[in-house]
Structure formats: C-alpha cells, structure tokens
C-alpha cells in the first residue's frame, strides 16, 4: 500500500520533513521475487549496497538470504556492521587505492579486480590467493548514458582479449582466477541485452580452469514512468536457466552463478515525503518550491529521471502544470518539470515515489543542508526511525 495522506502527516509530525520512508513489505516481496527466479540453478544473490546503504535495509536483505556487493571499504564496513560474514560480501572496487585493497582483503573479503592494472597491484601486494576478474563484455545497457557500464566507452573491466594476460599474471603470483564478473548497466528493462551479455560471459568463463563463480552483476530496472513495463522475469528465467544448466553440465563442476541487484530491491519501497514551502508564478511557469531538492534526490537533475509525484494533501484540487523545485541554489534543482499535479499550496505534503534506490545513498549536504531522516514502515503501519536527520552541528565541523 503506497503511503497515503494520513500516514504521511503522522510520519512528518514525528520525524520532520523532508523524510525518506521505506515499506518493509515491498522490500521483502522484491527480494523473494528475485530468489524465486532461479530456484535450482545454484544462484546466489548479492544486494548492491550502493543503491541504499542503510544498515537496517542491509539487515533486512540478509534476512532474505542475500549477500552483499560492496564497492568501497565503507560499504564493506557497513555490511560487516549489519551482520554479514566476510564470505557473504563481494568487492568490486573501481580505481581503488592499495590501502583500500589491503584493508578489504584483510577483512577476509574476496576481491574481483577491475582489470589488468588492479590485478597487477593485487599480485604485487600479495594480499589474495584467488581473485575474480571483471569483464567488459562489450555490451552496455541502462536508463541513461551515465549508468551504462559495459561497451566501448565504459571505464570498467578487462576486455575479453586480456583474459590470457590476466591468467598469466595470476599464475606468476601463485593466485587463481576463480571468477568472472560483469555489470553492464543499471535500470535495464529489456531482457535482450542481459541475455547477450550472459552468453559472452559464459563463453569466456569457460576459459578459466579454476572457475568457481560467474557473476552477472545487477541492473534490473523498475518502471518509473506510467508507460514503462516491468522487467519480464518469466522471460528472463526461460532464457537464462537453460544456459546456466548447460554451462554447469559442460564444466562438470558445481559452478556458482551470481547476480548483484540493487535498485530492484529498494526503489519501489521508498518514498521521499516533502512539504511545499512556496508557490511562485512567473510569466512562464508555476514553481512549486519544496523543502528538499537535488541534495536529497539527485536522480532528476543527474539523469533526467522521472519520479511520480503525488499531492497527498490536496488530491482533488484542480490540476495545473507545475515545476517542482528544490531549495538548492541551482536552476537545475528541479524534481519535476512541467508536470500535471493537483495544484499544490503552501504546507501541502507531496510524495515522491520510487525513491528508495539511489536516493539517500546519493544525497549530499550541498548548501549545508542536512540530509533527511529515514524511517522503516512495517506491514502493520508501525514506523521506526532507522537513521536520524543530520545535525547541522556535525555539518559545520570543528
């Protein structure tokens, strides 16, 4: 049940506005939907922490049988604090320092290196007996060019032609290459690029004699706009399961397959509740100003992303075309551009839907504005603060 007017008012009265509110039942349902996809194919699921690193969210995904994918020492430490054992954490760092690699390895977390230079460094440091290798399968996909992470323009991974060199570097350092990893992009709603990338991965994974796992990354999209269709998991399963089964039969070993979804688990579980601070009419536009903005939800400004916005206070007001603007001193600080909304008035509460992924985790304190509190709502409507609002004193420094 999406958060309605009464609950939103109660939450804001208790925790302040703006506020990130997550519905536990949605998160759990998405986690179970994913795990039901490949019940018999030796698939392990790792939640991509970057989508939302709140410790309570990490605890919930762990309770659903997920490991986590981390891309920084901070995310590794968050996972450990949330109760994950080191063998439930994967690390896929990009352009990381030696100190960070050393620290991650010292915690017993298995590394997947991002390419030949990182592999050489891990070998020189002597910090691992086995590593995975991220491959760029030369296929990319995603909702915006900033989040396409495979293909000729991507900074990630090694090319398939570099696998022999990687094997040689690993062998010389007495390490095994025990896994192949990829992540082709984020917010993918079609199955075709996935299937193509899986084929490339399986073709090259077979070249690794010590292969233990093949990690296909994350990227399952959610429909943000009304005309978008959800990801077709039935078709995905139908295409992928036989490929995984055939690969295992060919390798004659119990290879583990992995996925690293982030957005799919948390995007639709989260709502950003904001309050209207002013309604200003210029010669061209009506600006509905709110007590939040790109500092709390950067996706519209960074990716031209579209989030449903609902006027919870005044759902039946006559509609008008408005721009929902934040408090940040930038003209690009718009949460919605030319959107039909029941005309808001000062004090109205607006719900910005599908804000659970890459919302809080990409939030900043730009303009020295605190980040909002986060609350988790249980199925019975009980809500608990899972991170308090930033304190201005902490932002100001010593």
Of residues 40 through 79, those in contact with ligand PLP by CB under 6 A are: 48, 50-51, 69
Q: Which of 17, 72, 186, 311 contacts ligand PLP by CB under 6 A?
A: 186
* Residues 6 or more apart in contact with residue 284 via CB below 8 angstroms: none
Total of chain residues touching ligand PLP, rule CB under 6 A: 18
Q: Which is nearer to ligand PLP, 247 or 264 (CB)?
A: 264
Shortest spacing between CB 188 and ligand PLP, in angstroms: 7
User: Under the criterion CB under 6 A, does residue 140 sit at the interface with ligand PLP?
Assistant: no
Shortest spacing between CB 333 and ligand PLP, in angstroms: 24
Q: Which is nearer to ligand PLP, 215 or 291 (CB)?
A: 215
Shortest spacing between CB 92 and ligand PLP, in angstroms: 4
Shortest spacing between CB 198 and ligand PLP, in angstroms: 15
Q: Which is nearer to ligand PLP, 46 or 348 (CB)?
A: 46
Among all chains, which residue has been given the structure tokens 């989508």? 51
The crossing angle, in degrees rounded to 10, of helices 116-125 and 163-172 is 0
Q: Which of 179, 217, 356, 372 contacts ligand PLP by CB under 6 A?
A: 217
The crossing angle, in degrees rounded to 10, of helices 233-251 and 192-205 is 10
385 DSSP β-pair partners: 375
Shortest spacing between CB 391 and ligand PLP, in angstroms: 29
Question: Which of 37, 321, 329, 385 is the catalytic position?
Answer: 329
Q: Residue 55 class from Cβ within 10 Å (0-12 exposed, 13-18 middle, 19+ buried)?
A: middle
Q: Which of 115, 132, 193, 218 contacts ligand PLP by CB under 6 A?
A: 218
Q: Which is nearer to ligand PLP, 67 or 261 (CB)?
A: 261
Q: Residue 195 class from Cβ within 10 Å (0-12 exposed, 13-18 middle, 19+ buried)?
A: middle
User: Under the criterion CB under 6 A, does residue 176 sit at the interface with ligand PLP?
Assistant: no
Q: What is the pairing mode between strands 89-91 and 373-377?
A: unpaired
E strands within the chain? 19-23, 43-48, 67-70, 89-91, 110-113, 130-134, 176-181, 213-215, 256-259, 270-281, 286-290, 309-311, 319-325, 334-342, 349-352, 373-377, 383-387
Q: Is 37 a catalytic residue?
A: no
Q: Which is nearer to ligand PLP, 115 or 370 (CB)?
A: 115
| CA 82 – CA 77 distance, rounded (Å) | 9
User: Under the criterion CB under 6 A, does residue 220 sit at the interface with ligand PLP?
Assistant: yes
**Structural tokens at position 198:** 């899986």
User: Under the criterion CB under 6 A, does residue 183 sit at the interface with ligand PLP?
Assistant: yes
**Structural tokens at position 155:** 């900074």
**Structural tokens at position 364:** 């900043």
User: Under the criterion CB under 6 A, does residue 263 sit at the interface with ligand PLP?
Assistant: yes
Count of positions (residues) in the chain: 398
Q: Which is nearer to ligand PLP, 134 or 339 (CB)?
A: 134
Please identify every residue annotated as catalytic. 329
Q: Which residues bind ligand PLP (CB under 6 A)?
A: 48, 50-51, 69, 92, 149, 183, 186-187, 217-220, 260-264
């Amino acid at each position: 049940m999406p958060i309605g007017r009464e609950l939103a008012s109660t939450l804001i009265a208790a925790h302040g506005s703006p506020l990130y509110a997550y519905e536990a039942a949605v998160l759990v349902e998405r986690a179970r939907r994913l795990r039901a996809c490949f019940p018999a194919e030796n698939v392990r699921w790792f939640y991509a922490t970057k989508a939302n690193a709140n410790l309570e969210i990490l605890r919930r995904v762990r309770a659903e049988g997920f490991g986590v994918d981390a891309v920084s020492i901070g995310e590794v430490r968050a996972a450990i604090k949330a109760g994950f054992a080191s063998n439930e954490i994967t690390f896929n760092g990009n352009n990381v320092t030696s100190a960070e690699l050393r620290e991650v390895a010292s915690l017993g977390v298995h590394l997947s290196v991002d390419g030949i230079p990182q592999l050489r460094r891990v070998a020189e440091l002597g910090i691992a007996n086995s590593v995975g290798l991220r491959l760029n399968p030369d296929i990319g996909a995603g909702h915006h060019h900033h989040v396409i992470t495979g293909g000729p323009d991507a900074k990630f991974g090694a090319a398939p032609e570099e696998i022999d060199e990687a094997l040689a570097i690993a062998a010389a350092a007495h390490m095994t290459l025990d896994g192949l990893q990829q992540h082709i992009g984020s917010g993918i709603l079609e199955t075709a690029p996935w299937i193509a990338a899986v084929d490339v991965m399986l073709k090259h994974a077979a070249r690794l004699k010590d292969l233990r796992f093949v990690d296909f990354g994350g990227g399952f999209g959610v429909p943000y706009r009304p005309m978008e269709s959800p990801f077709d998991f039935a078709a995905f399963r139908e295409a992928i399961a036989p490929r995984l089964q055939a690969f295992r039969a060919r390798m004659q070993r119990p290879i583990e397959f992995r996925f690293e979804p982030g957005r799919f688990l948390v995007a639709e579980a989260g709502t950003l509740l904001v309050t209207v601070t002013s309604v200003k009419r210029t010669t061209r536009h009506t600006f509905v100003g709110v007590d939040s903005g790109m500092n709390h939800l950067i996706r519209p400004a960074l990716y031209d992303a579209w989030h449903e916005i609902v006027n919870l206070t005044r759902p039946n007001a006559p509609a008008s075309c408005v721009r929902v603007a934040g408090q940040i001193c930038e003209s690009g600080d718009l949460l919605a551009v030319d959107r039909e909304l029941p005309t808001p008035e000062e004090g109205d509460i607006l719900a910005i839907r599908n804000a659970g992924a890459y919302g809080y985790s990409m939030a900043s304190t730009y303009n020295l504005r605190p980040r909002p509190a986060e609350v988790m709502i249980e199925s019975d409507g009980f809500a608990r603060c899972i991170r308090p609002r930033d304190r201005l004193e902490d932002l100001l420094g010593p």
